[in-house]
Structure 1
Amino acid sequence: MDLTVVAYVIYLVISIALTIWVARTLSRNGRIFLADVLHGNEKLADAVNHLLVVGFYLVNLGFVALYLNGDGTVADARGVFEALSTKLGVVLLVLGVMHLANVYVLNRIRRRGAMEREQFPPVPPQGYVAPPAGA
């Protein structure tokens, strides 16, 4: 078997495994943020979480598939490691950027929801207090 094919197979196995691991981690821990943002609506939080995970898979696995194309043939074991380190490094960077983007968007949504909740006083006004005469 050609070493280029071996490098491709190893790249695909590791990239897909990393994508699945990151997606599951984001799904499990991001659900808490979504439940908070959606005011405790668990069913809606689960639905949005599932949609985010599907989008994450589509973007990352699409990138992994597009990046599979190699620069050339791999001649020896050293070439396998060099090709894998470059390809996996780029995939890890893309996964990291996607993760940070997800966290950023969820945090922005969460903060906006918290600001909307703070616009109303915690208790209704109890009465009117007239300002002092000199003010």
Structure 2
Amino acid sequence: MDLTVLTYVVYLLLSVILTVWVARTLSRTGHVFLVTLLRGDELVAGAVNRLLVVGFYLLDLGFVTLFMRIGGTVASIRACFEALSVKIGTVLLVLGVIHLANVYLLARIRRRSMRMLARGGE
């Protein structure tokens, strides 16, 4: 196996592991937030949580696969580490942006819900 293929394998492996770990962590901790947002409706909160996780996987793993290509060949172990650091670093940044976008959107939904409650609406 040449170093370019090894770099691809390590990149995919690390990216998938990081994506699964982040998705599970967000799902566990986000469930409580969703239950509060949805006024205690556990069933709907669970469904929304699963939908968010699926969307998270689709976005991140789609990005990972589109970003996989390395321009040229990897000729040394040093080049392998350099390519991996750029690739994995970018994946981590994308994971963070997706997470922040989710939190922002959920916070906006919560604020809207709180305003409606304050006005007496359901």
CA separation in 2, counterparts of 1:92 and 1:71?
Answer: 20
CA separation in 1, counterparts of 2:39 and 2:19?
Answer: 29
Gaps of 5+ in 1: 121-135
Please state if 1:93 is matched with 2:113.
Answer: no
The percentage of aligned residue pairs carrying the same residue is 62
Report the TM-score when normalising by structure 2.
0.95
CA separation in 1, counterparts of 2:53 and 2:83?
Answer: 28
Please state if 1:76 is matched with 2:72.
Answer: no
> How many corresponding residue pairs?
120
Maintained 8 Å contact 1:23/1:53: yes
Instruction: Report 1:1-135 matches (<5 A).
Output: 1-120=1-120
> What letter matches 2:60 in structure 1?
N
* Structure with the bigger percentage of helix: 2
Moved over 3 A (4+): none
Report the TM-score when normalising by structure 1.
0.86
Deviation of the 1:22 alpha carbon? 0.8
Q: What value does the CA root-mean-square deviation take over the aligned residues?
A: 0.8
> What letter matches 1:62 in structure 2?
G
Gaps of 5+ in 2: none
Maintained 8 Å contact 1:35/1:45: yes
